[in-house]
Amino acid sequence: MATVASHSASSSVSTKGWFAQRHTNRVQEIFAGYLFVLPAALSLFVFLVAPILAAFVLVFMRYDVLSPPEYVGLHNLNQLFADTRLREIYWNTVRFVVFATLFNNLLGLLLAMGVNRTMHAAVKYLLRTALFFPVLTTTASLALVWNFLLTQDRGVINFLLQQIGLEPVPWLSSSSWAMVSVVLFDVWRACGFLMVIYLAGLQAIPESLYEAASIDGANQFQRMRYITLPLLSPTAFFALIVSLIGAAQVFDNVWVLTGGGPADATRLIVLYIYEIGFKRFEMGYAAAVSLTLFLILIGLTLFQFRMSRRWVHYD
């Protein structure tokens, strides 16, 4: 009996030791996991969360960078309603976002469908590279090239128009044409990125579905209507959100291409926020304007998620 009791006791001790060792290993794994996540979490907090929180605080402050912040209550928010220039700039931003998002997605989808067709592998590779190349190049350098192309007096585009008997177009100096030029530039710059997204969505559609539809007698339009578009809808939903948010935050191409002119014709909201904060040194009001943009983008994103239930198919 004593031997059995001793064996039972030693077994109980070894079992407790095993659980203690397992608990220790588990704690060490959790600690190591948090240790690996810590640099990314610190970067996220320092460069994203902290600036957002600081912007919310600055909304109620008067701050010019050179002197300490001064609490002014709702002054910056009241200034939003008195700023008539802000309405015009938001109208410019709305027009730019609508047209840039629409044409970027349409052209990106058409290019993806064109590149996805059967062709020689080398040709397909060259086309993808050429169409995606503007995405890899800095926006400022691309805008400088477009500025050279679209200059009214010495621009290449107007020179070619004159060769066929047409009048030169004031692409960048006219209030009517400047926004068109900015939209065209953004579409040329960003459609390659959306092409890659749509191409990934097209290649994820099983080829067997098209083969079965062809056997059943479906033509190309019917295959597009009942196979491609429904199965591509999750990709299109993602592309719409990404392109809309990206268009609303455009800054560098407008800054280099037109500088916001002529006469605020192409001045978009992010450029206006930059000028308020870093030229007029009204950081509090700049934070208030950026808050309106933040809330609008959140609202539009939630609205898109709400409407996606009607047209996005995940099955």
CA–CA gap between residue 297 and residue 132 (Å, rounded): 27
Q: What is the pLDDT of residues 110-167, one digit of tens each?
A: 999 888 887 777 877 888 888 888 888 888 888 888 888 888 777 888 888 888 888 8
H or E stretch covering 71: strand 70-71
φ, ψ at 116 (rounded to 5°): -75, -10
Tokens encoding 45: 């907090």
pLDDT above 50: residue 47? yes
Q: Please state the domain extents for the chain.
A: 2-58, 76-311
Asked if residue 262 lies in contact with residue 175, where contact means CB atoms within 8 angstroms, the answer is yes
3-state secondary structure of 45: helix
Q: What is the pLDDT of residues 195-240, one digit of tens each?
A: 999 999 998 888 888 888 888 888 888 888 888 888 899 999 999 9
Q: What is the pLDDT of residues 273-311, one digit of tens each?
A: 999 999 989 999 999 999 999 999 999 999 999 988 888
Average confidence (pLDDT) over 185-203: 91
- Fold designation for 76-311: MetI-like fold (1.10.3720)
pLDDT band at 5 (very low <50, low <70, confident <90, very high): very low
Asked if residue 97 lies in contact with residue 247, where contact means CB atoms within 8 angstroms, the answer is yes
Residue holding tokens 């690996």?
A: 36
Asked which of 15-29, 36-50, 126-140 is least confident by mean pLDDT, the reply is 15-29
What was the pLDDT predicted at 15? 63
**Distance from the Cα of residue 54 to its chain's centroid:** 23
Q: Helices 139-150 and 156-163, interaxial angle, to 10°? A: 30
